[in-house]
Amino acid sequence: ISALSNESSFFRTSFVFPSFADSVLSVGALNNYDGTATDYSSKGPNYDLSLKPEVSAVGNLYWYNGNTKTTDFIRGTSFSAPLVSGFAACIFQNDTSFF
């Protein structure tokens, strides 16, 4: 499982290694307000015309900083990929015949 990349604002189909590989599940980011793809999450098709990302999860987060007592807005596919990885681990732990 790999975070796709945050390069859509620069290049529409820019992917980072290993996200574009055939056997890698790439994860995009969704907007938590309306469920659409974020403007920064890269989108396919890939160089071989395969569709990327295969799955997406929320990538926009609000973070409370206890030191400064402020709320910050952070975003990225680095936040969505762990959500998918954790979900896959729970499925695998529950039922190993799934994979």
d(CA 9, CA 88): 29
- Which pLDDT tens digit goes with each residue over 41-68? 877 776 777 777 888 888 888 888 888 8
**Predicted pLDDT at 29:** 87
Secondary structure letter of residue 37 according to DSSP: B
For residue 26, list its beta bridge partners. 2
Secondary structure letter of residue 65 according to DSSP: E
Asked if residue 30 lies in contact with residue 65, where contact means CB atoms within 8 angstroms, the answer is no
The arithmetic mean of pLDDT across residues 75-92, rounded, is 85
Q: Give me the amino acid identity at 66.
A: G
Closest of 27, 34, 29, 35 to residue 9, by C-alpha: 29
Strands of the sheet with 55-58, listed across from one edge = 2-3, 26-30, 55-58
